[in-house]
């Protein structure tokens, strides 16, 4: 068994070196495939980060009546926190609302003077953040119950509904596009690798015919092609890893400046280093091995 395996590996390595032009072409294609697969993984992280940031900018505010007791407001806040869709609830008192407004408009003296004359016009309110943009309607329906009518002045969900729905639509499209893009690239990658390996098999058809004549088993014939797929996958993974690392290092400062200082894709690459290697090895070796098996079975009837 060990001797047969050694022969298969030696045969694969000799064939790999003998057909160096085809081997380089195969590696080149697989590097592109693996790099694309890794890029999709990093792209998913980027889009998830951006979706979270967009959703964090959206919330619903509940304004309470002027005479609503603070204990009732805090009690309502505690009830809202128990709703599964709610991620966070922030209580802003009348005085805090005035302070926030004054700080925001500190350069507008006339506006601040009018506030001094008219008094504090702001209402105590709760800022509610949900986990998903499509969950705000359920929260709004909860707050529109009759038992809250005596203390709640307004829930601004319906004023913000068009914006919330647009954000939900955008995030949904991003996720769906990512899935479709991944599937399409996966199919293209498989077809390219399949045809490349089929070409390699075609170039060695005479050797395969001789092996069959002398009674070589099916697995002994398949073995070198499978091992070649493994070798190509490992080499392609190492090259792709260097390419992805260089791209992340180069583009990370530009993406941080363009989108968000918190979005450091090079740090994410370092943190996910072993996961990325695993994805690359599975992609490269998987495509090489599976394509070899199918090509041998379909076109050579081995």
pLDDT digits (tens, 9 = 90+) for 110-161: 666 666 666 677 788 888 888 877 787 888 888 888 888 888 888 876 666 6
Residue 153 is predicted with a pLDDT of: 83
Task: Say if CB 225 and CB 200 are below 8 A apart.
Answer: yes
Q: Name the residue ranges covered by the structural domains of the chain.
A: 2-54+171-299, 58-167
| Exposed/middle/buried for residue 186 (C-beta within 10 Å: 0-12, 13-18, 19+) | middle
Residue 150 is predicted with a pLDDT of: 84
Least confident of 73-77, 144-148, 154-158, 243-247: 154-158
Top CATH class, 58-167: alpha beta
Whether the per-residue pLDDT at 251 is higher than 80: the answer is yes
Least confident of 42-46, 118-122, 274-278: 118-122
Residue 20 is predicted with a pLDDT of: 65
Residue 196 is predicted with a pLDDT of: 66
Give 161's contacts (C-beta < 8 A, 6+ positions apart): 136, 137
In order of 81, 225, 232, the CA distances from 89 in angstroms are: 7, 60, 53
Q: Tell me the percentage of the chain whose pLDDT exceeds 70.
A: 63
The phi and psi torsions of 52 (rounded to 5 degrees) equal -60, -45
Task: Say if CB 270 and CB 249 are below 8 A apart.
Answer: no
How many beta carbons lie within 10 A of that of residue 39, not counting itself?
17
The closest of 276, 297, 281 to 38, measured between CA atoms, is: 276
Least confident of 29-33, 72-76, 218-222, 232-236: 218-222
Residue 127 is predicted with a pLDDT of: 87
Residue 37 is predicted with a pLDDT of: 75
Whether the per-residue pLDDT at 302 is higher than 60: the answer is no
Strands 125-130 and 60-64, by their bridges, are antiparallel
Task: Say if CB 191 and CB 32 are below 8 A apart.
Answer: no
Whether the per-residue pLDDT at 29 is higher than 70: the answer is yes
Name the strand (E) or helix (H) holding 301: none
Give me the residue label for tokens 């951006």. Answer: 50
- Give dist(CA 281, CA 274) in Å, integer: 10
In order of 134, 137, 156, the CA distances from 165 in angstroms are: 7, 10, 14
Residue 11 CA, distance from chain mean position: 41
The phi and psi torsions of 263 (rounded to 5 degrees) equal -95, 85
Residue 86 is predicted with a pLDDT of: 86
Token code pair at residue 153 = 């002045």
pLDDT tens for residues 177-210?
A: 767 776 776 677 667 666 766 676 666 667 666 7
Token code pair at residue 61 = 């505010």
């Amino acid at each position: 068994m060990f001797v047969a395996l050694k022969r298969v590996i030696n045969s694969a390595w000799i064939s790999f070196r003998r057909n160096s032009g085809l081997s380089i072409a195969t590696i080149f294609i697989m590097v592109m495939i693996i790099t694309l697969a890794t890029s999709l993984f990093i792209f998913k992280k980027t889009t998830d980060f951006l979706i979270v940031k967009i959703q964090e900018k959206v919330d619903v505010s509940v304004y309470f009546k002027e005479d609503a007791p603070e204990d009732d407001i805090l009690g309502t806040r505690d009830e809202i926190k128990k709703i599964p869709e709610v991620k966070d609830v922030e209580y802003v008192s009348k005085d805090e609302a005035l302070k926030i407004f004054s700080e925001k408009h500190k350069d507008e003296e006339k506006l601040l003077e009018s506030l001094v004359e008219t008094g504090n016009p702001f209402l105590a309110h709760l800022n509610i953040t949900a986990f998903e943009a499509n969950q705000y309607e359920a929260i709004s329906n909860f707050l529109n119950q009759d038992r809250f009518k005596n203390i709640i002045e307004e829930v601004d969900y319906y004023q913000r509904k068009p914006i919330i729905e647009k954000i939900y639509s955008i995030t949904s499209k991003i996720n769906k596009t990512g899935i479709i893009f991944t599937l399409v690239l996966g199919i293209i990658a498989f077809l390219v690798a399949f045809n490349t390996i089929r070409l390699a098999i075609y170039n060695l058809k005479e050797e395969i015919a001789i092996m069959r004549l002398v009674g070589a088993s099916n697995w002994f014939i398949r073995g070198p092609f499978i091992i070649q797929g493994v070798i190509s996958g490992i080499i392609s993974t190492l090259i792709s890893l260097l390419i992805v690392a260089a791209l992340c290092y180069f583009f990370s400062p530009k993406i941080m400046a363009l989108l968000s200082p918190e979005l450091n894709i090079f740090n994410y690459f370092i943190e996910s280093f072993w996961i990325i290697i695993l994805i690359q090895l599975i992609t490269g070796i998987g495509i090489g091995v599976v394509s070899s098996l199918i090509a041998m079975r379909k076109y050579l009837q081995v």
